[in-house]
Amino acid sequence: MAVVALHRLFRPILIAALLYAGNAIAQGNPRQPKPEDIPPQYRPPHPAAKMAQRYFIIDQKRATEDVNGEDALLRAREFKRIDSTYYVGWLYEGAYKFNHSADYLGFKSAIYPLSHALDLIEHDYNKALATRTDDVLTYIPVYKLQIDYTMIANYLMNCYSNTDQPDKVFDLLRRVKRYNFQNQYYLDVYDYMAWTVHRNRFYTHDKYYFLRNSIDENEQLANRYLDTAMRVIAKNKPLNEKFQPNVEKGEKMSVYHYRNILYSYAFNIDSAEYYFDLMRQAGRLPHNNYATFKAVIGDFKTAEKEYKIASEQDNGDKRLQEWAYYTTILNIYKGKPREGIQLAKDMIKAAGTTPGYGWYNIAAARCLLYDGQVAEAQKYTDRAADFKEVHIGTTLGQSHYEFSIQLLKLINKEQEWAMQQFEHKNWWYNPSVLMSMSGKMAEKYTQQFLIINQFAQNPERDRVIYKLFSNESTVSWDEIWYLIHDYSTQYFVKRFEHEAATDKRKYIRKYFKLFSARLKIKQGKYQEAKNELDRLIRTPDIEPEYEKMFMARLYQAEAECAKELKNINDLNDWMYKLYMTYPQVVPFSGLQMNMTLHVSGTADNAVVKKLKDYNINWVTNSSIPSVSAYITFSGSGDKKTITYYVVDRNGNYLVQKQGFTWKKSDEAAQSLAYRLFDIGSRMPDGNNKDKAW
């Protein structure tokens, strides 16, 4: 599941509460502690003068200087000048570098000061760190050291994780585990062990020593770590309940958080819902994760609502904001790709070249493809491919990133080929067009070869890709069609029929049925496919607002069957419904749309003539279901303008009235032909592209 590490969600609140409780405990001794206040068994073996410097200078200044503040690096240098063997200066330096890191080198530079801080605090305060007690007076001198230790370890763990060193992550967690803290503070060891195993589940013991040899075994191991976490919480409860009564509740929420990740990944729907509900009751619901879970089970309305809540809680971390990435996919499902384009572009602008930038470019490219802007989509795909993304606080990794890019490239090749069909009505006897199409087909096959070779090495393809909707998927369900429709058709027919019959997610079963029917069309079983499609049309669980893409592909498949079965009336009806639902997909479907043409103004005959060469059936018979295109020519010279709009049979606007300037008739006709299908039209912010393509 694409998630954010739990400490980012509510751990700072828990720590603040505990610090407040600790201060309340210490009200009988309000002054700054002196070296002699520390019990002898916890004092480092340093001279009294050195200890006095630590306590009277460094610790007093630290009381007013935030370790995560902008002045942390200045304080780090000052503290190290006073005493470079005291861990605090190194902690401040490491925290500053971690908080200001946005790439591999940044996180790598934070590793040394944090690692050194960990070594120093262990060297000086080993006994204090190992202390477990239910006595308040014994706990007061040590609990702040334990907080600092887990803070350092947490930063260091994330540095290792963000520089792709999971073996060092696990080494560090085992190191922390030795102290057996009664309060986990910033680092729930067993939770993060489970997280680390799950995040690397598709590898084996040969690559990372802490793993088993299959995804199933790794997921079982991760669940066992969470079981251990619950046992540790129960064991620690008697020690904490006297003066830290809320520790158990907070640490259980952490376990529930990771339970949700594992159960959602395993499609254990009821269990995931159960733990999400426990977190909701406690006011700790992780809205981003819950939204993704809801999208996976087909509740897109709730998913959109939860992503919106997640966006309002976004604290501006330098990492992928998953709510934004996945909202753009929901925009595609809703038939509003331009809203997704705008959101992705806004996130690109806000992120700059920090983690998430590559993902937002992928999101923009996808939305541009579904808006029919193929050339522009390729630009954003290339930007993502050229960017070195850093995957922070998420189970999404480099393999997901590369797969998303390669699949978009494949779709782009298919769309380029389909554009030749659309732009040349009689393409089959035009030698130059045929040559161009054969070249693009060769490029498509090359891209298919590359992606299939990469895909063949992915042990998760059955769980994440062929399952269509998955917590770990970073592509839309419709993109999977482009991956599988040219391969082993009968294998996939059987597979999707099986999924439709057995999948626990009732709102997702219809997607498997649609894939099965479309694959039967590829096999030439048109009547059998039509029978399945007709049943899908009658299904009561289609949500029109959030499943426009599903409806469009359903209507497209019905039109394909009608064409092959020579049912012209049905073909006309389905094409009209397809345009009404998702007009941008029509030019890439290989099907011909019925339109009536109304030209006014000083018509440019060259533009009109070229427009009629496109794969559009210009009709005059009012009994044929068609949309009406209105085109007005005006101006002259460098100020020639074409204004256009499209209405349905009842006069309702399908493409809003807008215009563009033009110079060359070929370019004007090309731009106009696509714009009549609402491709590249006005953006949601009101901006209008005013030049021909």
Q: Summarize pLDDT for 279-297 with one digit per residue, the tens.
A: 999 999 999 999 999 999 9
**Band (391; pLDDT cuts 50, 70, 90):** confident
Range scoring the smallest mean pLDDT among 2-6, 283-287, 591-595: 2-6
CATH architecture of 593-675: 2-Layer Sandwich (3.30)
Query: Cα separation of 261 and 574, whole Å?
Result: 41
Q: What's the CATH fold of domain 6-27+46-285?
A: 1.25.40
pLDDT of residue 38: 64
**Band (246; pLDDT cuts 50, 70, 90):** confident
Is residue 391 within 8 Å of 397, Cβ to Cβ?
Answer: yes
**CA angle, 335 then 336 then 342, to 5°:** 155
pLDDT at 158 over 50: yes
pLDDT at 20 over 50: no
Q: Summarize pLDDT for 460-477 with one digit per residue, the tens.
A: 888 888 889 988 899 999
Structure tokens at 43: 């004092």
pLDDT of residue 30: 38
User: What are the two backbone dihedrals, phi and then psi, of residue 268, each rounded to the nearest 5 degrees?
Assistant: -90, 80
Mean pLDDT of the region 505-529 = 96
pLDDT of residue 34: 56
Q: Summarize pLDDT for 621-660 with one digit per residue, the tens.
A: 989 999 999 999 998 888 899 999 999 999 999 999 999 9
Q: Of the candidates 559, 553, 560, 622, which has an alpha carbon nearest to the alpha carbon of residue 581?
A: 553
Query: Cα separation of 481 and 294, whole Å?
Result: 22
**Band (137; pLDDT cuts 50, 70, 90):** confident
Mean pLDDT of the region 84-112 = 94
pLDDT of residue 690: 38
Place of tokens 């819950």: 290
How far lies 604's CA from each of 23, 595, 624, in Å?
82, 19, 27
Query: Cα separation of 483 and 362, whole Å?
Result: 17
Query: Cα separation of 230 and 252, whole Å?
Result: 7
Range scoring the smallest mean pLDDT among 220-224, 665-669, 676-680, 688-692: 688-692
Domain borders along the chain are 6-27+46-285, 593-675
**Band (341; pLDDT cuts 50, 70, 90):** very high
**CA angle, 3 then 509 then 464, to 5°:** 35
Q: Summarize pLDDT for 99-116 with one digit per residue, the tens.
A: 998 888 999 999 999 999
Structure tokens at 550: 């599903």
**Local structure of 618: helix, strand or coil:** strand
pLDDT at 554 over 90: yes
pLDDT of residue 591: 96
**Band (667; pLDDT cuts 50, 70, 90):** very high
Query: Cα separation of 391 and 399, whole Å?
Result: 11
pLDDT at 35 over 60: no
Share of the chain above pLDDT 90, in %: 72
Mean residue pLDDT of the chain comes to 89
pLDDT of residue 460: 82
Mean pLDDT of the region 338-351 = 94
CA atoms within a 13 Å half-sphere pointing along the CA-CB vector of 215? 12
DSSP structure class, residue 319:
S
**Local structure of 541: helix, strand or coil:** coil
pLDDT at 271 over 60: yes
pLDDT of residue 682: 61
Quote the pTM value.
0.89
Query: Cα separation of 308 and 302, whole Å?
Result: 10
How far lies 159's CA from each of 131, 251, 257, in Å?
27, 23, 22
Is residue 338 within 8 Å of 367, Cβ to Cβ?
Answer: yes
pLDDT at 215 over 50: yes
pLDDT of residue 441: 86
pLDDT of residue 1: 55
Query: Cα separation of 340 and 316, whole Å?
Result: 20
pLDDT of residue 464: 80
Q: Summarize pLDDT for 433-444 with one digit per residue, the tens.
A: 888 888 888 888
pLDDT of residue 638: 80
Q: Of the candidates 473, 568, 484, which has an alpha carbon nearest to the alpha carbon of residue 518?
A: 484
Q: Which residue has the higher pLDDT, 339 or 103?
A: 339
pLDDT at 41 over 60: yes
Q: Summarize pLDDT for 307-329 with one digit per residue, the tens.
A: 999 999 877 677 889 999 999 99
pLDDT of residue 466: 86
